[in-house]
Structure 1
Amino acid sequence: LFSLFLTLPFLGSRAHYAPDEVTYLPGMTFKPNYRQWSGYLQARPGKFFHYWFVTSQRDPVKDPLVLWLNGGPGCSSLDGFLSENGPFHVNDDGATLYENPFSWNKIANVLYVESPAGVGYSYSDDKNYATDDDQVAEDNYRALQSFFAKFPKFAQNDFFIFGESYGGIYAPTLSLRVATGAATINFKGFAVGNGITSFALNKQSLIYFGYYHGLFGEDLWRDLNINCCDKGSCNFYNSSSVGVAFGIVYESGLNEYALYLNCEGVRGSHKGYERTMTHLFKNYMKQWLTHKVSVAHVPPCINSTAQMNWLNRGDVRKALHIPDTLPPWDLCSDEVGEQYTTLYPTMKDVYLKLLSLGLRGLVYNGDTDMACNFLGDQWFVEDLGLKETTKYQLWISDDQIAGFYQQFGNLTFLTVKGAGHMVPQWAPGPAFDMFQSFLTNGSY
């Protein structure tokens, strides 16, 4: 099936990479024009991160290398691979694969890492999965070093780090570690998609998002202003009066990841997404618990059944070189999420350091997401105090308005019209155009 790879000399001898190479995938009905590997990167002694690496379909030697990290904390980057920007996706039957016409590996080499240990097929020998933001950044950095030891020919490719959701913490902290580390990496920039950048701004902005999207009636809005505002300044972040408003967003059955899409699956069926919400809205959850309001039914609204069924097939695990001793793959890990310690209330200082080093940054948001809403990230970018170099303006994809953007020197804030939390999944065409523009430092 993969015999055409024998004609691709760009990565040296096949024997050098043979241990991790994927030469067959159950359910694949097409011949890929790229190579792929699945195996393990050592983050530290006894701690191993599962990776899946696909080369560019265009020019692996010259095209950039992109690291993709999903968030959680505790959710797998293989969700990004199989649902968002990977070269193929899993059919609803969970048995066959189909090509993704907007795969990011059409123009880049893409590395997916399941991080931290305990997520997906990543593991630790001692089964200690307690970690924090700094530890994850350090482990990801060491895993990168392990990757370049396996694939030294990619060390000089332009390198970018992308993170989604809680990847809004992972990506910048790892970027700073890479930018200031001793490893020789041709690091060019970082991007955060619907990411958490400031807990306070994310919570504060959600109330405005909810009201102006018609979720709150005038009586509730009036109560919020009476109880939380004084002399034109509102504090929805620390107020105990926001419980009803947050309950509408997260307890009523709305899809918090994409306001205008239906809520898929059974409400409360996936604890991993409940755990995500407790991290994104920690203070708010504490207030709810004080008032004895249950947080056990945050609607997951995400259907990952097909991916889970496929990844847990014995023949798929064997093809991906997954040890038989590891437990079944799951989208998110409760064990990791429950023991995770958040250290940074905001990424402001990290962004300013990265941008001062001349790195390019992109903050992009699907504008219907309520987990990490666009308004909070827009406020975050504006609060950095950078000089604007363009006006807020529309951008085009496939002859249609795809959203809006504004540039502040080497940092761009961009929205994707009508998309939710997982932009490459729900707006694949515009997401691909955005991706290409950012990698090439082109216009939007």
Structure 2
Amino acid sequence: MWHSALLFLTLVFGVQCAPKEDEITDLPGLNYAVNFKHYSGYLEGWRGKQLHYWFVESSRNPSEDPVVLWMNGGPGCSSMDGLLTELGPYLISADGTLKKNDFSWNTVTNVIFLEAPACVGFSYDPHDNCTTSDDEVSLSNYMALQDFFRKFPEFKKNDFYITGESYGGIYVPTLAVRILQDEDNANIPLKGFAVGNGLSSYKLNDNSIVFFGYYHGLYGDNLWSSLVHHCCENDRANSDSCNFATPTNPICIKGVAIAMDIVYNEGLNMYNLYGKCLHSSNSGKMKRYFTDVGHLFRSQPKQKELFEKFKHRLMSLKSSDPPCTDSRDMQNYLNNPEVRASIHIPGHVQEWEICSDRVYAGYQRQYENMVEQYKYLTSHVPGLVYNGDVDMACNFLGDEWFVEQLGLKAVERRRMWHDGDQVAGFVKRFDNLDLVTIRGAGHMVPQDKPSAALKMITSFIFKKKY
């Protein structure tokens, strides 16, 4: 008899198995009532690695809305940045309070913010091993996802999407492929993936930023003419004829180094060309050079020489901020003992920093591009590649070239899309892959253009017109 009653209650109210010990019941700085549940705790990855997650349920219909995984990049940077400054339901203020984000992605989806790999943010390795690789990260993240659905089995029936930005261009596709190719994938219902301002190809990213720099007025005709003459076949400047990424001509190498220095190392905001360059209290020129800049022009002799010379000094630098950013508000908030207690961070876990130099210095990059991953994924699930069009870390042109060179059938020609009565950017749709730009946004699209970002992700997930 009681089995029938239990079945009835399950059908009527659903299965509520969320871990009570991870539920956030009193979040410091939150001065308004929220209409959703939120959780913070740990998921177990490969070899016992403990990956910190922060899960916010949808404020609309959590039992039916999709579940979205969000990952920031680096490699080695924290997804708390995504939570507290980009697409989360509450945004950090300088006074330590949390203000409501009307354009949070949890207005239409459930969102998991995962700090990965171990040693990033509040994530840790019990053996204090912070070295890792692309494949190990995807494996550990996959195991953490399986752990998430063990903790929250009620969400296994919801559609699931993987999203991320920057080095998420590697994290997202490699994780998605691993899920789809594993016959024992714990029935994770992967329905699609989205990559924002992602690193999809080192070569195309390097080649395209030189074009981007010239056509945005960052260097003059003398430098550009020299680059075209010494780096491009037959003095023709196009994506096929120019090799700025792996040049051999000494004059080309010198010219590319000058262009690279102007773009990344002279005070411009590499994440938003037209944004201010913020400076945290301990940031320095060398530090800026080896955060996200470190994945650019890696074949350049100057870059190789500097990285080998200075990588051992990374951990001695006090600021973990990427170039032209200031994470002190987040750092002060997340390291507040009351906040740590409210989000269930054990006392032995390190203080929170936005990026981990230990992870970055010991990270093994295994892929030059994501061509094979995208070809596999687009034959199984839909994808979205989106770019803020004034980002210089992973610029829109390189990702556009990457998508165009996949050879997918175009199903909708390039056109404007709108957010309200304003042009939000451009969209071109291919067979199972959408290519979208967001006008006036930089590297962190949901931060720069929150309304357009929400419309974009809603259009992709719910198959609405952009």
Per the alignment, do residues 383 and 304 of structure 1 end up closer, same or farther by CA in structure 2, a change over 3 Å counting?
same
Q: Which residue of 2 aligns with 1:278?
A: 294
Per the alignment, do residues 51 and 42 of structure 1 end up closer, same or farther by CA in structure 2, a change over 3 Å counting?
same
- By how many angstroms is 1:282 displaced? 1.9
- By how many angstroms is 1:125 displaced? 0.7
Which amino acid in the other structure matches residue 92 of structure 1?
A
The partner residue of 2:188 within 174, 185, 193 is 185
Give unpaired runs (5+ residues) of structure 1.
Answer: 1-8
Task: Show CA shifts across 1:408-442 (max 9, x none).
Answer: 11101000000000000000000000010011011
Q: Distance in 1 between matches of 2:303 and 2:168?
A: 25
Q: Distance in 2 between matches of 1:235 and 1:161?
A: 33
Q: Is the 8 A contact 1:406 1:412 kept in 2?
A: yes
- By how many angstroms is 1:280 displaced? 3.6
- By how many angstroms is 1:163 displaced? 1.3
Q: Is the 8 A contact 2:16 2:154 kept in 1?
A: no
Q: Distance in 1 between matches of 2:91 and 2:26?
A: 15
Which amino acid in the other structure matches residue 56 of structure 1?
S
Q: Which aligned pairs between 1:35-434 and structure 2 lie closer than 5 A?
A: 35-93=37-95, 95-181=96-182, 182=184, 183-231=186-234, 232=236, 233-239=241-247, 240-241=253-254, 242-266=256-280, 267-268=283-284, 271=287, 274-284=290-300, 286-287=302-303, 289=305, 300-357=323-380, 359-434=381-456
- By how many angstroms is 1:92 displaced? 1.4
Give unpaired runs (5+ residues) of structure 2.
Answer: 1-11, 248-252
Per the alignment, do residues 179 and 10 of structure 1 end up closer, same or farther by CA in structure 2, a change over 3 Å counting?
farther
- By how many angstroms is 1:229 displaced? 1.4
Q: Is the 8 A contact 1:11 1:153 kept in 2?
A: yes
| Runs of 4+ residues deviating >6 angstroms | 290-299
Q: Is the 8 A contact 1:206 1:373 kept in 2?
A: yes
Q: Distance in 1 between matches of 2:91 and 2:63?
A: 25
- By how many angstroms is 1:293 displaced? 11
Q: Is the 8 A contact 2:288 2:322 kept in 1?
A: no
- By how many angstroms is 1:289 displaced? 2.9
Secondary structure of the corresponding residue to residue 390 of structure 1:
strand
Q: Distance in 2 between matches of 1:59 and 1:117?
A: 32
Per the alignment, do residues 287 and 316 of structure 1 end up closer, same or farther by CA in structure 2, a change over 3 Å counting?
closer
Tell me the TM-score normalised to structure 2 length: 0.89
Tell me the TM-score normalised to structure 1 length: 0.94
Q: Distance in 2 between matches of 1:115 and 1:243?
A: 32
- By how many angstroms is 1:272 displaced? 7.7
- By how many angstroms is 1:294 displaced? 8.9
Q: Distance in 2 between matches of 1:216 and 1:292?
A: 28
Q: Which residue of 1 aligns with 2:250?
A: none
Which amino acid in the other structure matches residue 75 of structure 2?
P
Per the alignment, do residues 68 and 30 of structure 1 end up closer, same or farther by CA in structure 2, a change over 3 Å counting?
same
Q: Is the 8 A contact 1:272 1:334 kept in 2?
A: no
- By how many angstroms is 1:270 displaced? 9.0
- By how many angstroms is 1:291 displaced? 12
Q: Distance in 1 between matches of 2:209 and 2:458?
A: 30
Per the alignment, do residues 442 and 270 of structure 1 end up closer, same or farther by CA in structure 2, a change over 3 Å counting?
farther
- By how many angstroms is 1:292 displaced? 11
Secondary structure of the corresponding residue to residue 34 of structure 1:
coil
Identity, % of aligned positions: 49
Q: Is the 8 A contact 1:268 1:299 kept in 2?
A: no
Q: Distance in 1 between matches of 2:400 and 2:122?
A: 35
Task: Show CA shifts across 1:27-79 (max 9, x none).
Answer: 11001000011000000343110000010000001000000000000000010
Q: Is the 8 A contact 1:273 1:332 kept in 2?
A: no
Task: Show CA shifts across 1:128-161 (max 9, x none).
Answer: 1111111000000000000000000101100000
Per the alignment, do residues 327 and 430 of structure 1 end up closer, same or farther by CA in structure 2, a change over 3 Å counting?
same
The number of equivalent residue pairs is 433
Of stretches 274-283 and 299-308 in structure 1, the one that deviates more from structure 2 is: 274-283
- By how many angstroms is 1:273 displaced? 7.3
Per the alignment, do residues 115 and 290 of structure 1 end up closer, same or farther by CA in structure 2, a change over 3 Å counting?
closer
Q: Is the 8 A contact 2:231 2:243 kept in 1?
A: yes
Q: Distance in 1 between matches of 2:439 and 2:356?
A: 31
Secondary structure of the corresponding residue to residue 389 of structure 1:
strand
Which amino acid in the other structure matches residue 122 of structure 2?
Y
Which amino acid in the other structure matches residue 404 of structure 1?
F
Q: Distance in 2 between matches of 1:76 and 1:54?
A: 16
Instruction: Please tell me the root mean square deviation across aligned C-alpha atoms, in Å.
Output: 2.1
